[in-house]
Amino acid sequence: MAEKPWGGRFSEKTDRIAEIFTSSIDVDRRLYAHDIEGSIAHCKTLAKGGIITGEESDALIQGLGKIKRDIEREEFEFDEGLEDIHMNIEARLVNDLGKVAQKLHTARSRNDQVALDVRMYLRDETTVIIKNLIRLREVILDLASAHIDIVLPGYTHLQRAQPILLSHHWMAYYEMFSRDTERFGDALGRINVMPLGSAAIAGTTYPIDRHFTAKLLHFPKVAENSIDAVSDRDFIIEFLSAASITMVHFSRLSEELVLWSSSEFGFIEIPDAFATGSSIMPQKKNPDIPELVRGKSGVVFGNLMAILTIMKSLPLAYNRDMQEDKALLFEGSDVLKACLEVYHRMLPKLSISRETMGRAVSSGFLNATDLADYLVAKGMVFRDAHKCVGEAVRYAVSKGKELQDLTIEELKAVSSLIDKDVYPLLEVDSMINRRTSYGGTAKRCVLSAIENGKARIKEEMKPYCKTGEKAGKKP
Ligand code: ARG
């Protein structure tokens, strides 16, 4: 077992169970690349301040590069006695280079080091998530364009309410995922702040140029207060809350896909490639993917609750409780990325039953509001019109008819204001296309929403296209 860096102060060896209990290497080893990148920048900063020589810095950087290669080739032996990724790498560097490697940790502490690593890791994750959200929105725009002539009932209280275009329904999800994209972009601004050089809590006596380190690591900002820099985990809370809101959206979409694929609805069929069967009932095809996405939302919400609870009573500054943050963050991010990936693949392959959706619109008095609006146009106040139509619906129900099936005499008995010109207004096409208020379901509104959606994506992709990347390409 390797020597502990704090060995000088201690007269006993660490208890084996305590060692296992405190170790986080199984979780934080995935920070290795960011840890090494941060250490390389730290070497350069130390050399710039004359704290180590240029040759020493070069030797350390070379040694760190070799460790990175060894980890990638799985030729690095992780030691849980060395607690975490930071100490594992440092111990190996000392082993490889001797005395000079013992200078690496000058002017820093693991407290600012871990904050740096997590911020670097998370800004990469957030960038991937933003790009994948944009890709998903592109898929939704394609669905909206393809389904522009498909009508289905819009629901309130899960009761048929008014007819809508399926495209309009998809575009509602486009808006949700747009806000998510924005939220992650916003969070990125607060993730992308450089904490290194705050050392354990109070800063350092060494002449280090923190702005230089920030520049090397492409951080636009430097943490302003050393106490806050080592104790702040807001950026993780923010990331997991943005992830949770995105998962709410995924969960609602999933719930709809589960309902819509049931025999009761019959609106869609989940492609075989994305469904599973039952081990006992041969006829079954189950919507497991939407169900799992819906279920995994609970995991992400749970992780958000966990990090909030961990942080809520911690006195300043660093406390070991905070080590628990990484497992929550990694899992939250992994789950979200997996959901983005699977929906990106599955959504374009859904098969839509235009007929069943259309049939569901033709019954259930979905044109009742339109009849009331007709009466208002003829001079009746809306509340009276509402009452009148309510009576018409009651009458129609008693006759087993829909409003559009009532004769003109029957309608006139409800209100003498009604004429034959009412019938075209009770048809689905009119119900949809007369709803032209901005953001409404009329075809021309939805078509312009789709165009607007495309333009927004183009704008959002600009910063990524600068570096030669495209939305369609998997990051
Ligand atoms: N593994 C630790 C963590 O993730 C690194 C920081 C340890 N700092 C300390 N003072 N023990 O939080």
Residue 385 has pLDDT above 70, yes or no: yes
CA distance 77 to 203: 33
Taking a C-beta distance cutoff of 8 angstroms, is the pair 147, 166 a contact? Answer: yes
- Are residues 64 and 158 both part of a single domain? no
- Are residues 159 and 199 both part of a single domain? yes
**CB of 24 closer than 6 angstroms to any ligand 1 atom:** yes
For the record, the structure tokens of 115 come out as 């904050």
For the record, the structure tokens of 54 come out as 């240029």
Structure-token match 């998962």, residue found: 247
- Are residues 216 and 274 both part of a single domain? yes
CATH number of 37's domain: 1.10.275.10
**CB of 260 closer than 6 angstroms to any ligand 1 atom:** no
The answer to whether residue 324 sits within a structural domain is yes
User: In the predicted model, what is the mean pLDDT of residues 311-334?
Assistant: 98
The larger pLDDT score, comparing residue 63 to residue 5, is at 63
The answer to whether residue 447 sits within a structural domain is no
pLDDT of the residue at 466: 64
User: In the predicted model, what is the mean pLDDT of residues 371-393?
Assistant: 95
- Are residues 131 and 65 both part of a single domain? no
Q: What is the pLDDT of residues 247-279, one digit of tens each?
A: 999 999 999 999 999 999 999 999 999 988 777
Q: Which of 106, 136, 155 is the last residue of a domain?
A: 106
Closest ligand 1 atom, CA of 325? 4
pLDDT of the residue at 467: 52
Residue 91 has pLDDT above 70, yes or no: yes
- Are residues 268 and 320 both part of a single domain? yes
- Are residues 132 and 179 both part of a single domain? yes
pLDDT of the residue at 279: 75
Residue 469 has pLDDT above 50, yes or no: no
- Are residues 196 and 115 both part of a single domain? yes
The answer to whether residue 467 sits within a structural domain is no
Protein residue with its CA nearest to atom 11 in ligand 1: 320
The total of structural domains in the chain comes to 3
Q: How does residue 2 score in pLDDT terms, banded at 50, 70 and 90?
A: low
The answer to whether residue 163 sits within a structural domain is yes
The answer to whether residue 21 sits within a structural domain is yes
Q: What is the pLDDT of residues 420-435, one digit of tens each?
A: 999 999 999 999 999 9
Q: What is the pLDDT of residues 146-180, one digit of tens each?
A: 999 999 999 999 999 999 999 999 999 999 999 99
Q: Which of 324, 359, 394 is the last residue of a domain?
A: 359
Q: Which of 335, 359, 383 is the last residue of a domain?
A: 359
Helix runs in 261-367, H state only = 288-311, 325-346, 354-362
Q: What is the chain's mean pLDDT, rounded?
A: 95
The answer to whether residue 158 sits within a structural domain is yes
The rounded Å distance from CA 203 to ligand 1 centre is 17
Give the residue numbers spanning the domain of 399.
368-426
Phi, then psi, of 2 in degrees rounded to 5: -70, 155
Q: What is the pLDDT of residues 408-423, one digit of tens each?
A: 999 999 999 999 999 9
Cβ partners under 8 Å of residue 95, min gap 6: none
159-166 long-range contacts (CB < 8 A, ≥24 apart) are 160/360, 160/361, 160/364, 160/366, 161/366, 162/366, 162/369, 162/431, 162/435, 162/441, 163/361, 163/366, 163/428, 163/431, 163/432, 163/441, 164/432, 164/441, 165/432, 165/441, 165/443, 165/446, 166/352, 166/357
**CB of 238 closer than 6 angstroms to any ligand 1 atom:** no
pLDDT of the residue at 146: 98
Q: How does residue 474 score in pLDDT terms, banded at 50, 70 and 90?
A: very low
The larger pLDDT score, comparing residue 109 to residue 462, is at 109
Set 11, 157, 263, 313: catalytic member? 157
CA distance 74 to 68: 10
The answer to whether residue 217 sits within a structural domain is yes
Percent of the chain with pLDDT over 90: 91
- Are residues 55 and 157 both part of a single domain? no
Residue 281 has pLDDT above 90, yes or no: no
The larger pLDDT score, comparing residue 57 to residue 364, is at 57
The answer to whether residue 6 sits within a structural domain is no
**CB of 184 closer than 6 angstroms to any ligand 1 atom:** no
User: In the predicted model, what is the mean pLDDT of residues 58-65?
Assistant: 98
**CB of 117 closer than 6 angstroms to any ligand 1 atom:** no
- Are residues 317 and 190 both part of a single domain? yes
CATH number of 408's domain: 1.10.40.30
Q: How does residue 473 score in pLDDT terms, banded at 50, 70 and 90?
A: very low
- Are residues 183 and 118 both part of a single domain? yes
- Are residues 281 and 398 both part of a single domain? no
Q: What is the pLDDT of residues 333-377, one digit of tens each?
A: 999 999 999 999 999 999 999 999 999 998 889 999 999 999 999
Set 42, 169, 263, 278: catalytic member? 278
The rounded Å distance from CA 66 to ligand 1 centre is 24
> Which residue out of 320, 322, 325, 328 has the highest number of ligand 1 atoms within 8 Å of its CB and is therefore the one to mutate?
320
Protein residue with its CA nearest to atom 2 in ligand 1: 323
Structure-token match 């129900």, residue found: 397
Q: Is 157 a catalytic residue?
A: yes
CATH number of 322's domain: 1.20.200.10
| The CA-based dihedral angle spanning residues 177, 180, 185, 191, taken in that order and rounded to the nearest 10 degrees | -140
User: In the predicted model, what is the mean pLDDT of residues 367-396?
Assistant: 95
Q: How many other CB atoms are there within 10 angstroms of residue 367's CB atom?
A: 25
- Are residues 136 and 248 both part of a single domain? yes
Cβ partners under 8 Å of residue 343, min gap 6: 136, 139, 250, 253, 293
Q: Is 262 a catalytic residue?
A: no
pLDDT of the residue at 286: 92
pLDDT of the residue at 110: 98
